[in-house]
C-alpha cells in the first residue's frame, strides 16, 4: 500500500512547510512533530511494539490522527526507521528490537493515519536500520518521510526508498499529498483505544522478581507496563501474582 494511491488526492507543490513540535491549535498548513504519547497519553511506540496484537497500531494511529485533526493538523510525523538496542537512550521512541515487528507496526500506523484523514510522515531522522527499510519495501508500504537533509534523502533513495521527503528545516523534496476524502473528526473512541493499547502491553519479564517497572524495557525482571495509572498497575500486580495472564511481548 503506497499512500499516493490510497486515496483520491491532490498535492502540495514542492516548496516548504512548517514543522510544529508543540500540540497547539494550528491555523495554517503545518506538520505536527510530537511523540505519540503526546497525542494518546502514555501510548508510546514501544508500547505498540510490545502488544501481542500488532493491529492495535492501526487503531492507535487512527485515534492519534483524529486528535491531531482536532487541533487543525492534517500531517503528522510518526514512527522510526531504527530498532531498539540495549541501553538505548530513548527506548520509548523505538518499536521493537525486531526489524520485522517494527515494519509491521509502521505499516499498520500508515493505514490508521490515512483512515483518519491524516497524511503520515515517517520519521527517518537518526539511525536507519536497513532491514526495517527492506521490510517496508517488501510490504509495498511507503509514505512521505522526514529526514535531516537532502543527503539523508539521497541515502534512502539509494536503498530503494524513493518517496517525498521533508527536511528538518521544512523543505519539501517533492509534492506532499493532501487527502481529499476525510471522515468527520470523532474523538469518542480515543480513550477506549488508548486503554486497550496500554492493557495489551503488560509484559511479564520474570515472575520471580516482585517488581513492576514503568517504561523501562531494560528491567531485570518483574512486570513491564507503559503507564503509572492506578488501573494498569492493578492489572500488572495481578499478572505478577499469576492471577491473570500477561498480554504483551518482551521488547
What's the CA dihedral at 229, 230, 235, 240 to 10 degrees? 100
Round to whole Å and give the CA distance between 153 and 242. Answer: 49
DSSP-based three-state secondary structure for 21: coil
C-alpha 200: how far from chain center: 16
Does CATH place domain 3-179 in 3.20.20.300? yes
The Cα-based distances of 164 to 32, 73, 120, 153, 161 in angstroms read 17, 19, 11, 9, 10
Round to whole Å and give the CA distance between 197 and 75. Answer: 23
Q: Please report, for the chain, the start and end positions of each structural domain, with discontinuous segments joined by +.
A: 3-179, 202-240
Predicted pLDDT at 119: 96
Sheet with 119-123: strands ordered across: 18-20, 30-32, 75-78, 119-123, 145-147, 165-167, 172-173
Confidence (pTM):
0.92
74 close to 178: Cβ distance less than 8 angstroms: yes
Residue 188 CB neighbours (<10 A)? 7
Residues 6 or more apart from 111 whose CB is under 8 A from it?
1, 58, 61
pLDDT in tens, the chain (251 residues): 444 334 434 444 457 888 999 998 887 778 999 999 999 999 999 999 999 999 999 999 999 999 999 999 999 999 999 999 998 999 999 999 999 999 999 999 999 999 999 999 999 999 999 999 999 999 999 999 999 999 999 999 999 999 999 999 999 999 998 888 899 999 999 999 999 999 999 999 998 899 999 999 999 899 999 999 999 999 999 999 999 999 999 99
Torsion angles phi and psi, residue 236, rounded to 5: -65, -40
Torsion angles phi and psi, residue 17, rounded to 5: -145, 150
Amino acid at each position: 500500500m503506497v499512500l499516493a494511491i490510497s486515496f483520491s488526492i491532490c498535492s502540495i507543490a514542492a516548496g516548504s512547510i512548517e514543522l510544529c513540535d508543540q500540540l497547539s491549535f494550528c491555523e495554517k498548513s503545518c506538520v505536527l512533530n510530537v511523540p505519540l504519547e503526546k497525542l494518546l497519553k502514555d501510548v508510546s511506540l514501544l508500547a505498540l511494539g510490545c502488544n501481542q496484537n500488532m493491529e492495535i497500531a492501526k487503531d492507535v494511529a487512527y485515534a492519534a490522527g483524529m486528535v491531531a485533526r482536532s487541533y487543525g493538523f492534517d500531517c503528522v510525523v510518526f514512527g522510526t526507521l531504527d530498532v531498539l538496542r540495549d541501553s538505548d537512550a530513548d527506548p520509548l521512541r523505538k518499536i521493537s528490537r525486531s526489524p520485522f515487528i517494527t515494519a509491521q507496526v509502521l505499516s499498520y500506523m500508515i493505514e490508521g493515519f490515512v483512515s483518519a484523514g491524516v497524511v503520515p510522515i515517517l520519521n527517518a531522522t537518526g539511525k536507519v536500520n536497513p532491514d526495517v527499510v527492506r521490510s517496508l519495501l517488501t510490504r509495498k508500504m511507503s509514505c512521505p518521510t522526514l529526514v535531516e537533509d537532502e543527503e539523508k534523502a539521497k541515502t534512502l533513495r539509494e536503498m530503494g526508498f524513493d518517496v517525498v521527503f521533508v527536511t528538518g528545516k521544512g523543505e519539501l523534496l517533492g509534492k506532499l499529498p493532501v487527502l481529499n476524502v476525510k471522515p468527520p473528526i470523532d474523538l469518542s473512541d480515543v480513550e477506549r483505544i488508548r486503554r486497550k493499547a496500554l492493557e495489551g502491553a503488560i509484559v511479564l519479564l520474570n515472575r520471580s522478581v516482585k517488581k513492576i517497572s514503568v517504561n523501562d524495557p531494560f528491567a531485570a525482571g518483574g512486570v513491564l507496563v507503559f503507564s503509572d495509572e492506578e488501573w494498569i498497575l492493578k492489572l500488572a500486580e495481578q499478572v505478577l501474582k499469576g492471577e491473570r495472564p500477561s498480554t504483551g511481548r518482551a521488547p
